[in-house]
């Protein structure tokens, strides 16, 4: 693919039992705000077979992702709920895509 693909961050967590729905709801509510206010390109949230959760978040470039951390906290309550749900934050993975063959799909 000749077009620039962007920059990707994979976030990973272990959640407290019973907090999965809370985490997913806040993540789903905040992602459109991140797109609007920080320039993100969206995310996909996954639950792995081993019980960990991970999110694939795409950005136009690394600089835009880095600048997103300087945006004022626009959802303090959501941030508290996310942190409350997380038992352990695993190291992030920063990726520079080289080829992209994903087909966008909407899940209802």
DSSP code for 81: H
Per-residue pLDDT tens digits for 17-45: 999 999 999 999 999 999 999 999 999 99
For 75-83, which contacts have Cβ atoms below 8 Å and span 24 or more sequence positions?
75/26, 75/29, 75/30, 75/33, 78/26, 78/29, 78/30, 81/22, 81/23, 81/26, 82/23, 82/26, 82/27, 82/30
- Stretch 87-101: mean pLDDT: 93
The reported pLDDT for the residue numbered 108 is 59
The reported pLDDT for the residue numbered 100 is 82
Domains and CATH numbers, the chain: 7-95 (3.30.70.100)
Look up the pTM and report it: 0.84
The reported pLDDT for the residue numbered 58 is 94
The reported pLDDT for the residue numbered 50 is 96
Say yes or no to pLDDT of 98 above 80: yes
Per-residue pLDDT tens digits for 52-89: 999 999 999 999 999 998 887 777 888 899 999 999 99
Say yes or no to pLDDT of 9 above 90: yes
């Amino acid at each position: 693919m000749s077009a620039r693909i962007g920059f990707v961050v994979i976030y990973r967590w272990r959640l407290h039992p019973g907090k999965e729905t809370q985490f997913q709801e806040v993540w789903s509510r905040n992602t459109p705000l991140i797109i609007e206010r920080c320039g993100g390109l969206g995310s996909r949230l996954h639950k792995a077979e081993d019980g960990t959760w991970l999110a694939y978040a795409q950005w136009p470039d690394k600089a835009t992702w880095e600048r997103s951390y300087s945006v004022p906290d626009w959802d303090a309550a959501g941030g508290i709920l996310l942190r409350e749900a997380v038992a352990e934050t695993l190291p992030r993975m920063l990726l520079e895509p080289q080829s992209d063959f994903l087909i966008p799909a909407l899940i209802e």
